[in-house]
Amino acid sequence: MARTVVAVIAGLALVVAAAAFAARFVPNVNRALLVTAALAPYLMLGAPLAVILFATIGEWTFGFLGAALTIAMVAVQLPWWVGGKAAAGGLRIMSANLRYGHADPDALVHLANEHADILAVQELTPEEADRLSAAGIDTTFPYRALRAREGPAGVGIWSRYPTLPGAEYDEFWLGLLAARIRTPGAERETTVVVTHMSAPWPDPLQGWRDDMSRLAVTLKEIGTSAPGPVLVAGDLNATPDLLEFRRLLRDGYRDAAEQAGAGLTRTHPADLRVIPAVFALDHVLTRDCEAVSVRTVALPDSDHRALVVTVGYL
């Protein structure tokens, strides 16, 4: 009886891990697939568990299947934990979702002063922009490019360095804004992009899929026209295990967490006291520069942790 129970548990663990692994490589046409892919780093741990359980009952054939899946799992996850040889770092960018403009402005200004040279925010309302100015953001970050909107549709960039406002892309209803910044260490202006993708839930899933496809095209256009390095910061509502996210990592773009070997930079949800953040939804993408370090910091009154990235120029 005990052997049967162990075999059933091991078999279920192996099936769940295999399903999660497979979900990483197919388009997310429904929410069941999306949730499975987003949880893949956790669900795939069923593979090594199955190996252990099958070994205890001498089921070596299924044990070898579990071992093969474990190796495949490690192969797709390991690059996010092993960084390359980075250039010397200097430029710091922080990405922060302000939760409908409710994030604590004094705390955000303090975090930005301490950790950032460029601050890129999402869900920036006109009222929150005013509160940030009252909290002193303009003292340290005198240059800005803002697209403040009611609800979640606003984005903005504050910078310590001279900034040339760039294009607004109104086809993204939650906002995409670009600016060119004269940063120390770069021979040419750095193009900084801040954006926010639609949520796959409770909003229609197709809206998120359309946003992600549109973003891939837009980033290619921005990269082609940029005079120098490109940094893209935002809440993409996508984890590295979603195929639609990894399709952004082409045309020279890399994910900062993968470059720096930072692993799963989990940022959401950050407002639940009983569990830590689970999903890596916030990202900084790089082009013609390299992330040296990536970490998250708590942002009071937001449901996201802020993402802090130090970048070096190649």
- Residue 179: predicted pLDDT: 97
CA–CA dist 288, 17 (Å, integer): 36
* Least confident window among 83-87, 112-116, 180-184, 222-226: 83-87
**Which token pair is 277?**
């953040």
User: Per the structure block, which two tokens stand in for 200?
Assistant: 């796959």
Q: Are 23 and 36 in contact (CB under 8 A)?
A: yes
* Residue 84 pLDDT greater than 80, yes or no: no
* Sheet bearing 155-159, strands edge to edge: 143-147, 155-159, 118-122, 89-97, 306-313, 289-297
pLDDT in tens, 12-30: 999 999 999 999 999 999 9
Q: How far apart are CA 57 and CA 55, in angstroms?
A: 5
What pTM does this model have? 0.95
pLDDT value at residue 314: 63
pLDDT of residue 88: 65
Distances (CA, A) of 197 to 89, 109, 158, 230: 28, 24, 20, 18
Query: Which structural domains are found in the chain, ordered by start?
Result: 2-80 (no CATH), 89-313 (3.60.10.10)
Tokens representing 152 are 């979640």
Q: Which pLDDT band holds residue 296 (cuts at 50, 70, 90)?
A: very high
User: How many angstroms separate the Cα of 237 from the Cα of each of 61, 78, 146, 284?
Assistant: 39, 22, 21, 13
Q: pLDDT tens digits for 213-267? A: 999 999 999 999 999 999 999 999 999 999 999 999 999 999 999 999 999 999 9
Q: Which residues of 175-188 are buried (b: 16+ CB within 10 A; e: fewer)?
A: bbbbbbbebeebee
Neighbouring C-alpha atoms within 13 Å toward the C-beta of 275: 7
- Per DSSP, the three-state class of 210 is helix
